[in-house]
Each structure stands twice: as C-alpha cells, then as structure tokens.
Amino acid sequence: MTKVSGDVMPEGSNRIIGRDAMRINIAIGYAVANIIKTTLGPKGMDKMLVSELGDIVITNDGATILEEMNVDHPAAKLMVEIAKTQDKEVGDGTTTSVVLAGNLLKKAGDLLDQSIHPTTIIKGYELAAIKAEELLSALGKDVTPEDKEILLKIALISMGSKGIGSDQEKKKISELVVDAISKVAEKKDGSIYVDTDFIKIEKKAGGDVMDTELINGVLIDKEIVNAGMPKSLKDGKVALIDSAFEIEKTETDAKIEITSPDQLEAFLKQEEKMLKDMVAQVKASGATAVFCQKGIDDLAQHHLAKEGILAVRRVKKSDMEKLARATGAKVVSSISELADSDLGSAGRIEEKKVSGEAMVFVRDCSDPKSVTIFVRGGTDHVVSEVERAIRDSLGAVASTVEVGKYVTGGGSIEMALSSAINEYAIEIGGREQLAIQAFAESLESIPRTLAENAGMDSIDALVSLRNKHKDGKGEGFGVNVLKGEISDMTELGVFEPAKVKTQALSSATETTRLILRIDDIIASKGGKGGMPPGGPGGMPMGGEY
C-alpha cells in the first residue's frame, strides 16, 4: 500500500489520523477542564499565573485563567474560546461551561471505546441539548428589575466564588452592582436592555474593599487643567466639547511673513482675542464646567480660570459618551454653536486626590444613565480580583434582568436537568440513547465538582441528590457548600441567571461537536505544538501546507 500522505505533505510535517486524533483532542479538552474545575463554587481555590515577564495574576475567574495560561494545543484553544464566549455573552459561568465541555468530551471518549460512531454521539448530544434548553425555559422562574431582593442574591452568588474578602464586603458590592444595573437599564419595545459598558469601573489601590463606592455620575482619571480654577462646584452646568480649545493650525503648509514688531503684536493679540471669544461663548452658554476631548490652550485656561469655569482636557471618547448619558449634556463639536440647551447638570463636580493622584468626580447627577463603580482595596492584586468579581456580577444581574428568568444554583438545576434527560433518553431509544445518557451524566459533573471543592464525599453527595431528584421531585435540592450537605437552594436563596446555564450548555455542546468531528490533525512543518507557524491567518510562511 502506497503512503500517499507522505508524498503530499511537506517534509517534517506531522499528521495524526482517525481515533488517535479524536483521543488526543478529547484528552486535551478534559485536561483543560480539570485544571480549572478546582475553582468552581464559593469553596473553589485560586490560581497564581506568572507570565514570562514575571507579572503575577491571582484569580478564581475561569476566563482570566484560560486567557493567561497561554495554551498551545489547538484543542485547548477551542476550550479557551468557550470561556471567552461565555464571558462576552453573559459575563459569568465561565468555569461551568468549560467543566461541562470537558466532561462531555470524556463521556464521548468512553462511547468511542464502545465502537459507537462519532456522528451518533453528536446526534445524541444535540437532542439532549435541545431538550435541556426546553427544560431550562420551563424550570426558570420569572423576575423583574423591581425584584431587588432576588437580584441581590444573584449578584451575591455570582461573587461568592471570588476570594475578595468577607461576607460583609461581598454584600456591599452586590448592592452596588444591583443599584448600578437599575440605573442604566432601559426599556425598549417592551423588553429591558442593559448595556454594562455604561457602568464604568475605575480602580485604585489603597483603602479597603469596603471603601468601594457607586458614583451617580462619572469618575474621570484626569486633573483640572489650571490651578486657578475652582476645585469643587455645586450644581455644575456641564459642557462637553469635541474640538480643540486652541487656534487650529492650517492643514496645508502656510507661511506668515512678519516684518515688524507691531505686526507680531497684532498677530498675538488676534490669537488672544480668538481664544477670549471662545471663552466668552462658553461663559454666555451658562456652563460652569467644561470637559474637552482635545487640548486646551494655556491662554484659554487662564481666561476660563478668570471666569471661574472648571475645565478638564483630553478626556477619552468613551468617557465623553458616559458623561453625556450621566449629565444629560450633548457633545458639541463647535464651541461657537454651544448653547444653554446643550448643557447637562451635575450636583457636584470636584477634584480629589486618591492615592496621590488627582481625579475628577462628577457626582449626584439627577437621573444618570451612566454610573461609575470606584473599586478600592489593599493591593493591586486585591483590586484587580474585586474588579473581575464586579464584572462577573454585573454580567449575571444584567442577563437576569434582560431575559427575566432565574434558576436555583448549587448544582440543583443541573441535577434536575440530568434526571429529566435520563428519562428522555429512554423515550428516544436506539444508540443515541447512550449519548443522551452520557449528556445527563456530564451535567452531574457540576454538583460533583462543587461537592469535591467543599471537601465532601462526591459519591455520597451525588447519590443523595439523585434520590432527591427522582421522579422529577425536589428540583431545588443542590450542594450546600458552606455546611457540606444537601439542602434546598430555594430556601437558602441560592439563585443564578437562566441565561448563564443556557449559554454554558450551548457553548459546551457546540465545542464538543466541533472537536468530535475532527478525525485528522495535520500540522505543517515547523509547526509548534501541533500548530502551523504564524503566517497570515494562521497559514504557514512560504505558502507550504
């Protein structure tokens, strides 16, 4: 028999065919899931990640761990994609989605060993995923933005797995998160929309986690441009300007010939007059605070200070948008067109020094559609982890409000789904039944991992849970990690967004299907870790493949 692949492929290239390729991909996928499964739940452990440059990240966040890990194998990169998708779409549940995918792959490997074709496994998994989504929709309970108590519990549970301090600190931050979401939530066409980009997170090491605060407005990491300007204003009238407070230079090359000192003086006076006119225009509009996206000339600063107008320059475009939403001001691109109707208002505008750096606080806006959470903590590592916890929590609460449904946590919903899908497998019959049952067993990996991380006997916990969930009863029973027993999660108030579970199931199933369809790994010569070298779009250099 002729070895065709050897003639077609360039010298030194690598190829793995058939079941071997599948087994390698499955082993890698399961290994990635095993790395981060110890971080699941409030009793999960943290990981310390050290980069090549020696930068340290200490975190419990699945997406951050996988991103910082710098994995090399293509199958591992697919697992990282699950966490990234989950993080972008929902902001929480990254570890859950990867653990699920890893266990789906492991169970698929067991079925492959029983000579069941990958297509049959994929078909079974797809049927089970569709059924799981239907069941999630039926089991989910309704929630509205007014149900602050439930949203607070969802925020608290989302933050529970992060090692950010005491229960008191977590409770305070959860309250800030729910408040922030309620401020920026908007009703559009009968549905609720939350853009978490309008919740700015500004962090500064120093103080204590309890010093973290919600600012009804925007915090700008800049200072007031001139020492003569007021450092604090009450009931400020805010002007947002997207043009330079300077004499614009011509775009084409221009030459001005000055032959006498009088001409030079006239030229400088004209420049000063133009700048004075700009300041006069701002003053006439009634503005007492100016936020400029571009530069402010020194002379203009002087005249603004004389008029008692506070000014901040080179404000980021994203911050200008947030200021507009918070104060109600319009961003004006020409100073000459600035009018009273373009101004916004803020209860208090002040410059404060935080950890030795000046920052401008725009506070107490009457109906802010953009707010800021100012994160404090003992060290940079603490502040960064609190920020990650807040981002997860914001994502969880936002998705709950948008979808309007929540489920019980502690692995209870996974057990309820597992129990129902096992019954569904018997209805379907055939070889697909085995894959559907494997899907149901994979769902049990979440409560099992929670039990393991809490130091419980995972087998005892699973047996106890199966008995509780038998015949579709006791759907709220899950793992009480704090007491190390099986409890009713509804009574404990352990709630999670339904969207987190839906997204985790769909991402895990799709990635598993993608990996199971691969029966041939072809790595070009010079490829590192089974990957081709970094030519354009992942193609090898020199056009060889």
Q: Which of 61, 87, 297, 319 is catalytic?
A: 61
pLDDT, residue 3, reads 45
Q: Which of 85, 372, 392, 502 is catalytic?
A: 392
What is the rounded distance in angstroms from the CA atom of residue 135 to the CA atom of residue 127?
12
The model's pTM = 0.77
Every domain of the chain with CATH number 3.30.260.10 lies at: 144-216+371-403
Q: Which of 59, 85, 94, 400 is catalytic?
A: 94
DSSP string, 419-454: HHHHHHHHHH-TTHHHHHHHHHHHHTHHHHHHHHHT
Q: Which of 59, 95, 96, 288 is catalytic?
A: 95
- The CATH number, out of the four listed (2.60.120.10, 3.50.7.10, 3.50.50.60, 3.40.190.170), of the domain defined by the range 220-367: 3.50.7.10
Q: Is 333 exposed, middle or buried (0-12, 13-18, 19+ CB in 10 A)?
A: exposed
- The CATH number, out of the four listed (3.90.550.10, 1.10.10.10, 3.40.50.300, 1.10.560.10), of the domain defined by the range 19-142+407-518: 1.10.560.10
pLDDT, residue 437, reads 92
Every domain of the chain with CATH number 3.50.7.10 lies at: 220-367
Measured in degrees and rounded to the nearest 5, phi and psi for residue 519 equal -125, 10
**Burial state string for 19-36 with b = 16 or more CB within 10 A and e = fewer than 16:** eebbebbbebbbbbbebb
CATH placement of domain 144-216+371-403 = 3.30.260.10
Quick check: is 95 catalytic?
Answer: yes
Beta carbons of 29 and 80 less than 8 angstroms apart: no
What is the rounded distance in angstroms from the CA atom of residue 82 to the CA atom of residue 102?
11
CA torsion, ordered 512, 516, 520, 521, to nearest 10 deg = 20
What is the rounded distance in angstroms from the CA atom of residue 469 to the CA atom of residue 413?
10
Q: 192: which residues sit within 8 A by CB, 6+ positions away?
A: 145, 185, 186, 401, 402, 404
Helices then strands (H, E): number in the chain? 18, 21
> Which residue from 205, 240, 419 is spatially nearest to 312, judged by alpha carbons?
240
pLDDT, residue 471, reads 67
Residue for token pair 């390729």? 21
3-state secondary structure 152-204: HHHHHHHHHCCCCCCHHHHHHHHHHHHHHHHHHCEEECCEEECCHHHEEEEEE
Beta carbons of 306 and 272 less than 8 angstroms apart: no
Displacement of CA 165 from its chain's centroid (Å): 21
Torsion sign across C-alpha atoms 152, 156, 159, 164 = positive
The beta strands (E) that lie in 228-365 are given as 232-241, 289-292, 310-312, 331-332, 344-354, 357-363
Beta carbons of 396 and 496 less than 8 angstroms apart: yes
**Predicted confidence pLDDT, tens digits, the chain (545 residues):** 344 444 566 666 677 776 777 888 888 888 888 888 888 888 888 888 888 888 888 887 777 888 888 777 888 888 888 888 888 888 788 888 999 999 999 999 999 888 888 899 999 999 999 999 999 888 888 888 888 889 988 888 888 766 676 778 888 888 899 989 988 888 887 788 888 888 999 888 888 888 888 998 899 988 898 888 888 889 889 999 888 877 766 556 677 777 778 777 776 777 777 888 888 888 888 889 999 988 888 888 888 888 888 999 999 999 999 999 899 899 988 888 888 888 989 999 999 988 888 889 998 888 888 899 999 888 888 888 888 888 888 888 988 888 888 898 888 999 999 989 988 988 888 888 999 999 999 999 999 999 998 888 889 988 988 888 876 667 788 888 888 888 888 888 888 888 889 999 999 999 898 888 877 766 775 544 444 443 333 333 333 32
Every domain of the chain with CATH number 1.10.560.10 lies at: 19-142+407-518
Count the helix, strand and coil residues of the chain and give each as a percent rounded to the nearest 5: 50, 20, 30
CA atoms within 13 A on the CB side of 379: 7
Beta carbons of 441 and 464 less than 8 angstroms apart: no
pLDDT, residue 490, reads 87
Quick check: is 61 catalytic?
Answer: yes
Straight-line distance from the first to the last Cα atom of the chain, in angstroms, rounded to the nearest whole number = 24
Beta carbons of 172 and 390 less than 8 angstroms apart: no
Q: Which helix (H) or strand (E) holds 519?
A: none
Residue for token pair 């750096």? 357
What is the rounded distance in angstroms from the CA atom of residue 80 to the CA atom of residue 69?
9
Displacement of CA 491 from its chain's centroid (Å): 29
Biggest CA–CA distance in the chain, Å, is 100
Quick check: is 392 catalytic?
Answer: yes
